[in-house]
Structures are given as structure tokens and as C-alpha cells.
Amino acid sequence: MKLGKLRLSFFLLLCFSCSQTWGQGPEDLEDNPSIQRFRDYLRIPTAHPNPDYGPAIDFLVGQANEIGLSTRTLEFVPKKPFLLMTWKGSSEQKLQSVILNSHMDVVPVEEDKWIYPPFEAHMDEEGKIFARGSQDIKALGMLYLEGLRILKAKGWTPLRDIHVVWAPDEEIGSTDGWERLYNSTEFQELDAAIVWDEGRPTPEGNYVAHPGEKALWWLVINATGESGHGSIYYENSASENMFISLNAINTFRDSQKSPVLSGEKTIAEVVAVNSAYLKSGTPTPDGGFTINVQPSVVEAGFDIRLPPVTGIAKFMDKRIAEEWAPKNRNMAFHFIERSGLTKDNEIPVSIADDSNPWWVLLRTAISKFNATLTPEIAPASTDARFARLLGITAFGIMPIEHVPFLFHADNEFMNGYEFLKGINVTVAIIDQYASFPGPLVSAL
């Protein structure tokens, strides 16, 4: 009996603390309208494989109406809309525009790995807001809007046109997203000088900006050869030829991996080559493989990321053709994806030093917060690559400090207090960019 009572009160105690943990977070943040709007956006599920952009667009149009920005949608592919918000600049001169870009889609979730449901935007007592997209990259989109809202309220007006671009499908390669937009007359008409796109938060404080990113190649190589008995040595068998290639690829991979592991270089500075799949064998009806038959075809797929170093694509092309999949070893190759290269086979990078006024303006905005700005090549792809291919300056920056990098991670979160600080930095950057009077064109 006693024990039972004890258990009951212990249970009640647990329940009480439980409801505390699952409570609504710190009150000051809870009541903050910027935080409320951010969490509202996070609650709209736009996860692949079937993102429904409609509710996100409705929400964002509502935001634009409140702030006083004009809107229009562009639909190059059905159900894959872009939303454009515009604040007209006051300059009489024809000054090129400022683009604030973010994508609306988010990567899928494995719900059972999350401590809170990924589309509830739960806020804990430390002000952490848990949601898929809370970092990548709904936070940035909402920073733009909160920044513009403050600037409107202040009575500030931009010299240059500001366009806020909301893109679909970035997380699945942008084939129906920016790849459609950047070649369109609608985009040309925006006449962009500078594109602000996604970057990463900095756990250690201060800020980083991506002036460029690694190019993405998905390579498939095939080896063909004589099929035959498992006991015989054939000259030029498919497996033998593939093994020679795998050795060569691995040697090259080690040369790139070692300096990263030793801390000499970052992953952004080297070629990353990782095996995605190996496919071969003569299947048996029970789902296994026949062991005493040598296969006539072997196929291997690789994810390759190239740093923006002059001549790197030509260097890799030669290596693939001559060492990894040479014709004289009955090998062939093709790319499933090969993006981010100019017509001259180079990877474009925006100039991130004082010779580029757009960099100076960014640094000036950041310095108001006694912080530093460091250029860093992004290890993965973003939509900014399309702008750079057109020769438009593009920097990827997320003005958020003291938050761990959790893009695509389980339990992705944003800290609400850091988000509020980020709004002030966003205001400063937009002010610098959109107030810049120079007749300057984009400098890549």
C-alpha cells in the first residue's frame, strides 16, 4: 500500500516534470512575434519526396502582404512554384538589384529518431526550436522577412530593388528549381548584382560566407569482359578491370583524404570521392549469386565533389578517361550528374576580398557586431552556383552564431535567441547592399 502511494506520487512528479519539458519554452521567446512567425513557417511540412508548396506559398504571401512587399509566382514546372517578393528601390538610376534567396523544401525525416515531432517546432527551455528546416534553410528565409519588416517599420527605403526569392526543389538538385529560373527571361529582368543565399551557422561564433562551392559529379563506370567459369584466369575479365580501376581510385582517394584527416586541409579544399554502389554478379533465383561464374559486367557509382581550383575538371576528366575507365581495358563511363561548371569547364567563385565591393559591404555590416567574416568554400551544392554561372556575385551566409551545424541531421534545431540576434545582422546586411549607390555591376 505504502509502496503503491509512493509510486503514484513519483509518477505524478515525473509527469509534472515531463509536462515542464514539453512545455512551451521560455516565455519571452514564446511571446515574441518573430519567433511565432518562424515557428509557423517551420510547421508547414515541405519535406521530400512530396513537398506540397501550396501552403508554404500561402503563408509567405500572407507575410509579404503584412510587410508590404509585392508578390508573384513563377511556375516553370507544374506544382514547383517560385515565389518572388519585391521591394522597389528608390533610385532614379538603373541600379542592379539585390536578391535574397532561400529554398522552401526540406529533406525527409526519420520521425522515430526525433525527440520532438519534426514539424511541430517545439521550443525547449533553452530556447531551442526543433524542426526539420529550422536551419536548412527556413531560418534564413524568415531572417530576410523579419529584417525587411523592421526596415519597413523604420521608414527606411532601399535604393536598389530587393527581390526575395523562394525556390522549390533545392534539396533534390534544383532540376525543376533554379536550373529553370536562372535561364529564364523573368530572372534576366530581375537584373541581379548580388545574390545572398544559404550558408551555415557557426558554433564557435563569428561568421563565415561561402563565395563558392564544390562541383558535384555523379560518375558511373562500367567494365565488360568475358563471362566464364569461376576456376579459370581470363585476360581482361570485367572484375579484373574493375579491380584495377578501384585500386587507382582508392590511391587517388587516399591522397585527398590524408591531408583532411591530418588537419592540413579542409574537406572543401580537396576532391572528395566516395563509392556509392558496386553492381555485379550472376543472380540465383533465391536472391543470391552464382559463385562459380565470373560476371561479364561490373558497374560502380561514385559521388565526386570538386573544389573550385583552376583546371580541376580537366585534370579529373583526364584521370577518369585514362586511369579509372580507359577504353583499352574495355571500360566506359558516364555522368548521371555533372553540374556547377562554366562553358570553359571551370567552377566559378565570387571574389571574397577587398577588391569586390560586395564583399566589403558584407564585412562592413558584420563588423558592426564586433564579429569577423571568413570566406569558406561550401562542401555541398547550393542554388548560388546558378547565379555564379551567370557571372553574378553570390555569397552564402547564415548570420547565426553559437549554434551547431545540423543541416539534414536528426533533431535539427535553431536557438531562438540566436535567431533574434541574427535578425539584427540581417537588417545590417540588407541595409548595406540595398543602399549601395555605386554604378557597379556584379563582380565575380
Per the annotation, does 171 bind a ligand? yes
In the sheet that holds 122-123, the strands lie side by side as: 122-123, 128-130, 413-415
Known catalytic membership, residue 170? yes
Please, which residue, 198 or 376, has the CB nearer to Zn ion?
198
CA distances from 400 to 126, 134, 371, 421 (A): 16, 12, 11, 8
The answer to whether residues 162 and 97 touch, using CB atoms and an 8 Å cutoff, is yes
Q: Which of 105, 94, 102, 104 is nearest to 190 (CA)?
A: 94
Residues linked to residue 222 through DSSP beta bridges, in sequence order? 299, 332
Give SS3 for 192.
Answer: strand
Q: Pairing state of beta strands 82-87 and 122-123? A: unpaired
CB of residue 97 vs Zn ion: minimum separation in angstroms?
A: 22
DSSP single-letter state for residue 95: P
Residues 376, 206: contact at Cβ < 8 Å? no
Distances from the Cα of 341 to the Cα of 155, 182, 217, angstroms: 42, 14, 10
Distance, CA of 170 to CA of 165 (rounded, Å):
12
Beta strands 70-74; 293-294: pairing state: unpaired
> What is the grid cell recorded at 312?
580541376
286 given a catalytic annotation: no
Residue closer to Zn ion (CB basis): 137 or 270: 137
Q: Which of 105, 124, 161, 240 is catalytic?
A: 105
Closest CB to Zn ion among 76 and 405? 405
Compare residues 152 and 408 and give the one whose CB is closer to Zn ion.
408
Question: Is 198 annotated for ligand binding?
Answer: yes
**Could you tell me where the beta strands, DSSP code E, fall in 32-156?**
70-74, 82-87, 97-103, 122-123, 128-130
Catalytic residue, candidates 124, 146, 170, 240: 170
Residue 137 or 246: which CB sits closer to Zn ion?
137
The C-alpha cell 561490373 sits at: 298
- Return residues touching Zn ion (CB under 5 A): 136-137, 198
> How far are the Cα atoms of 69, 82, 105, 369 from residue 72, in angstroms, in the given order?
10, 8, 18, 34
Q: Is 103 annotated as a binding residue?
A: yes
In this complex, which beta carbon is closest to Zn ion, that of residue 131 or of residue 273? 131
Peptide bond into 49 cis (omega under 30): yes
User: Can you say which residues are annotated as belonging to the binding site for Zn(2+)?
Assistant: 103, 136, 171, 198, 408
**Residues with catalytic annotation?**
105, 170
